[in-house]
Structure 1
Amino acid sequence: MVRILYGSCASVTSFNTQPEAGRRAYEQDHIPGAVFFDLNADLSGPKEQHVGRHPLPPLEAFALKLGAAGIGEETEVVVYDDQGGSIAARLWWTLKYLGHERVRLLAEGYSGWRDAGHPVTDELSTPVARAFVPRVNEALLADVGQVRTAIGREGAVLIDARKPAHYTGEDTSKYAKAGHIPGAVNRFWEAGSPGGVFQGAAAQKARFKDIPADAEVIVYCGAGVTATPNVLALAEAGYRDVKLYVGSWSDWVSYSENPIAMGNGLVSKTHKVSKQ
């Protein structure tokens, strides 16, 4: 049985400014049988001081939503969006975190499916409810303490999935503080899905070829969403010890004591840029 889930269709730059765009797009047309999951309402929990902009949803409540969507232990899940996998990968990772292994990403996304002439519909799905029992895999998750101890530790690699100008601190328009976590390397997530098509193992291996295969990898972005395509890409490339720092940069900069590195590698504990 295949259940296709639709992540939010809001553009990557409009997570918060157009929260209803994804649902409107889904209601207009979607893959037959698909059900809709929204980034803010379903895949994220309440914001607090130190959890970042898109913390994990309450797991028991989310498990009930999954069950209501027709997802049980044996359900094969295919996730898709129309944003290069940026949001669908968040659902992919969350299902993996909850112990559901039978989940894949539709590499070409919704536009690729539709443009290839595959069927679409505006008919809303009415799935048969199932019991979803979470089996949390904490090995997939990193918190701020683990990130702190990973800085400079042999065998540990931090990957920043944001666009280069945010990583270097040149673009100061989006975050309360500019820069990146000291020691992190930049691998912009969109490089793994040029033209909106998620690339296969060979291309993903080339993106991370300078990172040892046995490294302990922690991936972050701005708020724990666009890091997940890099987590998926690393899995495709054969890396087995990969964690998502869900709080990501928005959580890191909420601690005044956390160090920040700029594009030139200098580290500051107090560098701040007013959010515009």
Structure 2
Amino acid sequence: MQSLSANSANSGAFPTPVVEPDWLAQHLEDANLVVVDCRFSLAEPEFGQQQYAQGHIPGAFYLDLNQDLSSPVQGHGGRHPLPDQEKLTDKLRQLGINSKSPSGPTRVVAYDNSRFAFASRLWWLLNYWGHSQVAVLNGGLAGWQSAGYGLSQVAPLPQAGNFSPQPQSGWTVEIEAVKQCQNQPGVWLIDSRSPERYRGEQEPIDPIAGSIPGAVNYFWQEVSDPDGRLRSPAALHQHWQALAEAEKVIVYCGSGVTACVNLLSQVAAGLPMQPLYVGGWSDWCSYLTSDSGA
């Protein structure tokens, strides 16, 4: 397993994939830094925007999971399909995110208050589009406030960035690719949902309970503590040590959102980025529903 070279002791380095509140506070006025509030609630889609209006990290923009970080739901493809590339590119440019500038690519810090559940989606999307200068805020907004830092109700003005997406080949898989390799030796299909949903005992969102045959369960909340802080690289190394046996790894969840937390933690442990089945269980079971005539 690789070492976590990104978390360099060099104070001048951008500490991806996670930054501490103190680091962010010290760099909040940097011209080459953009902060993005990703708070959201699956049960209350307007919650994140409302919370942002009530108070956010000074200078932070807001991106909405449904409106910005996903495209409209179709018959198949899951509850949170990947966003339209052109639409989100325009949005990211309005945040002032640059792929090229005299000081290098814009550093982006994403945060939420849900143990990385939504900030990690933006983290993954930017990495998927070739922008590696992105990190999530350890502890989220609660961690920021616990460290003694204040909030603002002022929304920043739109900017004019030059973000240019460069999608990474092989980072996503569709349902047919999952079917082809799901029971092959050496293939690890990781279900990131709660154990109850994985076992089919509960299903609060999708029409059918269960999991993809052959999948193993690694609950996304296990990589952080209750305060929303990512576990140490050593602890994450231990958590994912069984992956050393895998020839191929595919990660999924309900709809390609919280699976990104597991991907974040794997990168923090020094592992390479693994393919994401974006549609996840919501895509998989949509075919079961249609097959049954429901």
Q: What TM-score comes out, normalization by structure 2 length?
A: 0.83
- After TM superposition, the structure 1 = structure 2 runs for residues 129-144 of structure 1, keeping only pairs within 5 Å, are 129-144=160-175
Partner of 2:258: 226
Shift of the alpha carbon at 1:127?
Answer: 4.4
* Match among 27, 30, 33 for residue 2 of structure 1: 33
* SS of 2:109 mapped into structure 1: strand
What is residue 184 of structure 2 aligned with on the other side?
Answer: 153
Distance across 2 between alignment mates of 1:44 and 1:163? 22
Q: Secondary structure at the match of 1:27?
A: helix
Matched positions, count: 257
Distance in 2 between residues matched to 1:60 and 1:33, nearest whole Å: 24
Alpha-carbon distance in 2 for matches of 1:257, 1:250:
10
| Distance (whole Å) between structure 2 residues aligned to residue 173 and residue 246 of structure 1 | 19
Distance 1:95 1:173 in 2: 29
> Which segment is superposed worse, 203-212 or 28-37?
203-212
Q: Secondary structure at the match of 2:70?
A: coil
State the partner residue of 1:114.
145
Name 2:276's counterpart in structure 1. 244
* Aligned residue among 204, 207, 214 for 2:236: 204
Partners in 1 of 2:37 and 2:203 — Cα distance?
32
For 2:213, the aligned partner's letter is P
Change (3 A) 1:241 1:87: closer
Q: Tell me the equivalent position of 1:64.
A: 90
Corresponding residue SS for 1:79:
strand
Q: Report the CA distance shift for 1:136/1:204 in structure 2 as closer, same or farther (over 3 A).
A: same
Deviations along 1:10-29, whole A, 9 cap, x unmatched?
Answer: 2xxxx1x3111101111111
Contact 1:166 1:179 in 2 (8 A): yes
Asked if 2 retains the 8 angstrom alpha-carbon contact of 1:79 and 1:103, the reply is yes
- Structure 1 stretches of 4+ with a deviation exceeding 4 A read none
Structure 2 alignment gaps of length 5 or more: 1-31, 100-104
Q: Which runs of 5+ in 1 are unaligned?
A: 259-268
Give the Å deviation of 1:154: 2.7
- RMSD over aligned CA atoms reads 2.0
Residue 212 (structure 1) shift: 1.5
Please say if residues 88 and 105 of structure 1, whose CA atoms lie closer than 8 Å, have aligned partners that are also in contact: yes
> Partners of 1:241 and 1:36 in 2: how far apart?
26
Equivalent residue for 1:24, pick from 27, 40, 50? 50
What are the within-5 Å matches in structure 2 for residues 80-91 of structure 1?
80-91=111-122
Report the Cα offset of residue 126 of structure 1.
1.6
Contact kept in structure 2, 1:44 and 1:55, CA below 8 Å: yes
Is the contact made by 2:208 and 2:289 (CA closer than 8 Å) also made in structure 1?
no
Name the counterpart of 1:263: none
How far did 1:213 drift?
A: 6.3
Query: Is the Cα–Cα contact under 8 Å of residues 251 and 274 in structure 2 kept in the other structure?
Result: yes
3-state DSSP of counterpart to 2:251: strand
- Secondary structure (helix, strand or coil) at the match of 1:114 reads helix
The range that moved more, 124-133 or 96-105, is 124-133
